[in-house]
Amino acid sequence: MTTDTTVFVSGATGFIALHIVNDLLKAGYTVIGSGRSQEKNDGLLKKFNNNPKLSMEIVEDIAAPNAFDEVFKKHGKEIKIVLHTASPFHFETTNFEKDLLTPAVNGTKSILEAIKKYAADTVKKVIVTSSTAALVTPTDMNKGDLVITEESWNKDTWDSCQANAVAAYCGSKKFAEKTAWEFLKENKSSVKFTLSTINPGFVFGPQMFADSLKHGINTSSGIVSELIHSKVGGEFYNYCGPFIDVRDVSKAHLVAIEKPECTGQRLVLSEGLFCCQEIVDILNEEFPQLKGKIATGEPATGPSFLEKNSCKFDNSKTKKLLGFQFYNLKDCIVDTAAQMSEVQNEA
């Protein structure tokens, strides 16, 4: 791709998306982002020093019918690449269909419909930010003998995934991604774009802008924050699963734009498995100011816990396609926690 290419990033104010916007601008792309309000959009533009290659549009509700029509009516002839990162993500709901499943599916559908209506000839690539949640159910995540690959799909149905908020979130990622692949199959003759998906595990790593930590943080970062603020002798829930650094998630989006071999692929982003015990071990080892003040759990038991309590991920195909080394857990957590400590000290 030439660097005068225009990229549209939905949900541009999100944790992952801010890193993507930064990397795109550094690589010379022109970026049009969407955010939910003028206030959010102005805040983002200011953070990027009103870069002339960055502009923002308002999409209040991605799940509303024709949510993206105005953006593509206005910019459809400029946009060559679409990165769909926007997705509902909140567990404070009991109406899972209304608040998680339907918005995720409709958001994906509405952006693809808008491309078909207003940019069918100009958009060449669509990359959907999905999740490892689309690959495996929360229940199967805990099966130590299960191996998940780029070909795996979450087995929950529309109904069965509504058992609880976590299952519904995972279901929303599956059905949103399925919607994208099915849309492309059904509209092959009327659109020109190829599709790839990016399926990260738990996304850790520093915020693009440290002050984002003052305004509520993404769920994975919240896990680290809770452990930093744990009490000596305190207990913690030992979350486990695949992890990836946000900087690698962003980089993978750019590689997916630039490498033709990524076309039509599901790129599973995981550097390995983590559990909270391992994070606590890292915090106690690497931060003298925390040692003796936070929980310790059962040091060094992480690997044996994971062996029994987490399915395995074989994403060797993705690693080969992307061709770059991911951050390891220690570096990722140290950078995440260091930024959190800095912001806390300033407060």
**Token pair for residue 26?**
């550094």
Q: Which two tokens stand for residue 283?
A: 């915090």
In tens, the pLDDT along 206-264 reads: 999 998 888 777 888 999 999 999 999 999 999 999 999 999 999 999 999 999 999 99
Domains (range + CATH), the chain? 6-346 (3.40.50.720)
Weakly modelled stretches of the chain, pLDDT under 70: 1-3, 88-91, 346-347
pLDDT (0 to 100) of residue 253: 99
pLDDT for res 63: 87
Mark residue 131 as left, alpha or beta (left: phi above 0; alpha: psi -120 to 50; beta: remaining).
beta
What tokens were used for 101? 């499943």
Identify whether the C-beta of residue 236 lies closer than 8 Å to the C-beta of residue 250.
no
Please name which of 129, 134, 140 lies closest in space to residue 171, comparing C-alpha atoms.
Answer: 134
Q: What are phi and psi of 304, to 5 degrees?
A: -70, -35
Task: Classify strands 312-313 and 147-148 as parallel, antiparallel or unpaired.
Answer: parallel
Distance CA 27, CA 29 (A): 6
pLDDT for res 344: 77
- Please state the pTM of the whole predicted model: 0.96
Q: Are strands 147-148 and 54-58 parallel, antiparallel or unpaired?
A: unpaired
Using one digit for the tens of pLDDT, what is the confidence trace for 136-180? 999 999 999 999 999 999 999 999 999 999 999 999 999 999 999
Q: Identify the pLDDT of residue 78.
A: 97
pLDDT of residue 89: 63
Q: What is the pLDDT of residue 3?
A: 63
Alpha-carbon distance 9 to 56, whole Å? 9
Structure tokens at 10: 């939905």
pLDDT of residue 2: 54
The answer to whether 247 and 269 are in contact (CB under 8 A) is no
